[in-house]
Structure 1
């Protein structure tokens, strides 16, 4: 009996030692033995700046009125709020003392220079697919072009013991890939370039892929049917980027995707919510070739008819409900006529491409109404194309409309013109009202040196 007990104790100790080694070790980097370059070439720095745009680093690691990349943006998680960190080359508060290998471990493995694990709100599971060459260029840009800012990081609001970070190492083992993107030999060069940008630096799956109980993305590439199939994140519903005609981009052509990423709008919609920041700070700065590659890749992703349902078809029945003699008897119709119809039109078709249609819009067809509730309550920020703000934006109505009125007008929109997103409850509006900032969204457009 004692022999069995000692054997079990020995096994436990060995497992514990192995676990301790694994969670405290620093992942290997291909740059561990690479000496720092004193003065990177202008071309390498320029390439790094482009990768930073593609990865949208500035939008997350900056706040309105703050210095670029100095951190401080509040991000919601299921366990509590966290704040993005200072990634300027300041030696005390930023990454000024990071070696190339340290930088690589943080970007592609989620491990800071001091060994602590980063929360996966930092999209390192996607960045792990970035190439060695792009990581090297990104490091050159951040250490030799970005201005240092002495801004201390804010502690997270995740309570103890949930703020213990070593279990993230085990999470990484199960859910985070750790190899760069490997081209698919059966696809052409444009498809592979698009796949690399979407899966890697673009980290589109971080918002558009549903997450599991462990906050893991349920798929990391086109091999999974749920990859980019739409997800709720921090008060916004990021729609499917697959060829779902109702809840995704099935009715879009490659040219429509290109226009949306290049101009912030197309005949189907206008950027808003989290995508507004991605457009203002990232996608409009990509080359035409890269934007076309992204569009080419996304249009290759099949939809799911079982999930998406029968394709939407326009119906004009709601136009009659908005007639003066009838609108008072249809819940939400009077509010729509007073607050929404001038811009979005009684037929729901909007004024393309400046004011999007509500008839057949993805937000009016997905079951989750979070995006519509959020934008009615808080409005939208300005689309900044080529440094110029647009002339149209959705105003906030949180001070003008009650929870019941918002619920009724959205229920009307989501059932009009052939839409079938489903009704909205006053409780759902009240809950999101509490969770969102009462101030109208500010546009984050920061100059990257």
Structure 2
């Protein structure tokens, strides 16, 4: 996302403020400074910055375009500016917007604002968030463009009917910092981190299907995967520690790496949670009802092994231009092998991950593999910065064509993953669009892949 993290953390008073919600004693909840610290942590857990700051824009000033099937919804200014932001909001106004999706003027917010999840926040935490936004966020006198989407969404009153169909979380009670582990994990997952907003499939009315909670959903070109404890479709073979490591760093060795929207969530939210909260969140996710996936018949991170074939290439140098068309193996050598290695094993420390035992390459859906190649990876957490270049474009010039990316994806899934998905250039082209409408990537039934062999990690 935008390079605003340095401003963000200076506003959040540095690491002392983000030391954790549990560090703020409950008996000091009415003290403004304690509320400020608590509110700063809650705003980070709620990932408010991700939607309310556009790339290159000022912190919380809005203007980010969020794609929906009806068109782009533009996020609002939630700084202290009284004309363009929420500076004139009372605590009651703030609560109505946060938990009920109602602006100060009575108009309905669009549900890309996850108020159905934030509805579960305690009164104490709503007050802490309000205190921090009123005193810890700098006003920005900028008015984002108005959202213009298709009928009936352009009539905000239509959101009243949608709200009646959507199932909002029930407000929690008591002091959320004193909850036991599973209750705390439930609170984080359903209210603050709103995991279901991305990972739960939606019906034709775009309402979350609660009977399929966390079973996976399309997300603007990406696929937010099944994160239930299913051993084939989800993350049933992940331990609690695996999940904590992933949420803290964006990387779980031999399992998966965060990119796209999840990379942003790790960068701006989960990587800054306390270890205690991360374990609570992971423990809760590990015990939700498991849902199998008809496109996943084996754990996504269990496919493939390092290539051990001898190099029998001729050594002849071909011109890489329109006179010579490279195949998948040659595209891999030219674009991927320098970092991931000729064997696909990645680097010894797994800064560059292996391509086998890799959830993205082993998935029965190729959406995230295509999107990662198109958009690259750019994720910063307290543990360091991780990047992979975009092969979809380079200095406004197409780096790899749609046909080349299709060949590369098929090569990667055959060699290291779940088989031949017969991806074609048209599928890649549809996903290359700047604001693709969420839609599944059609794929042929994958051919049988080699039986997984536990790799010897370098």
TM-score by length of 1: 0.79
SS in 2 for 1:408: helix
Matched residue pairs, number? 388
Give the alignment of 1:80-119 within 5 angstroms.
80-119=71-110
Question: Structure 2 regions of 5+ residues with no counterpart?
Answer: 1-29, 316-323, 437-458
State the match for 1:64 in structure 2: 55
State the match for 1:241 in structure 2: 227
State the match for 2:249 in structure 1: 263
Whether contact under 8 Å (2:260, 2:372) holds in the other structure is: yes
CA distance in 2, matches of 1:311, 1:66: 40
Structure 1 window deviating more from structure 2 (172-181 vs 41-50): it is 172-181
Q: CA deviation at 1:42?
A: 0.3
The alignment status of 1:324 with 2:313, answered yes or no, reads yes
Match of 1:337 among 325, 333, 336: 333
CA distance in 2, matches of 1:304, 1:208: 12
Q: CA deviation at 1:319?
A: 5.3
State the match for 1:374 in structure 2: 371
Question: Structure 1 regions of 5+ residues with no counterpart?
Answer: 1-38, 438-449
SS in 2 for 1:415: helix
State the match for 2:194 in structure 1: 203
CA distance in 2, matches of 1:317, 1:145: 50
CA distance in 1, matches of 2:61, 2:137: 10
Relative to structure 1, the CA distance from residue 349 to residue 303 in structure 2 (aligned partners, 3 Å threshold; closer, same or farther) is farther
State the match for 1:51 in structure 2: 42
State the match for 1:363 in structure 2: 360
Relative to structure 1, the CA distance from residue 306 to residue 160 in structure 2 (aligned partners, 3 Å threshold; closer, same or farther) is closer
SS in 2 for 1:75: strand
Relative to structure 1, the CA distance from residue 315 to residue 325 in structure 2 (aligned partners, 3 Å threshold; closer, same or farther) is farther
SS in 2 for 1:76: strand
SS in 2 for 1:416: helix
State the match for 1:28 in structure 2: none
The alignment status of 1:164 with 2:152, answered yes or no, reads no
For residues 349-386 of structure 1, the C-alpha deviation after alignment (integer angstroms, 9 at most, x for no partner) is 333531123223222233432222222122222x2222
Q: CA deviation at 1:40?
A: 5.9
Whether contact under 8 Å (1:269, 1:353) holds in the other structure is: no
Match of 1:215 among 175, 195, 206: 206
CA distance in 1, matches of 2:62, 2:84: 10
Computed over aligned residues only, the root mean square deviation of the Cα atoms, in angstroms, reads: 2.8
For residues 221-240 of structure 1, the C-alpha deviation after alignment (integer angstroms, 9 at most, x for no partner) is xxx3x211111111211112
Structure 1 residue ranges (4+ consecutive) displaced by more than 6 angstroms after TM superposition: none
Structure 1 window deviating more from structure 2 (158-167 vs 210-219): it is 158-167
For residues 262-284 of structure 1, the C-alpha deviation after alignment (integer angstroms, 9 at most, x for no partner) is 22222023221011211221111
Relative to structure 1, the CA distance from residue 429 to residue 266 in structure 2 (aligned partners, 3 Å threshold; closer, same or farther) is same
State the match for 2:272 in structure 1: 285
Whether contact under 8 Å (2:122, 2:173) holds in the other structure is: no
The alignment status of 1:228 with 2:214, answered yes or no, reads yes
Whether contact under 8 Å (2:363, 2:418) holds in the other structure is: no
SS in 2 for 1:125: helix
CA distance in 2, matches of 1:374, 1:216: 25
Question: Looking at CA atoms only, which structure, 1 or 2, has the larger radius of gyration?
Answer: 1
State the match for 2:298 in structure 1: 310
TM-score by length of 2: 0.78
SS in 1 for 2:208: coil
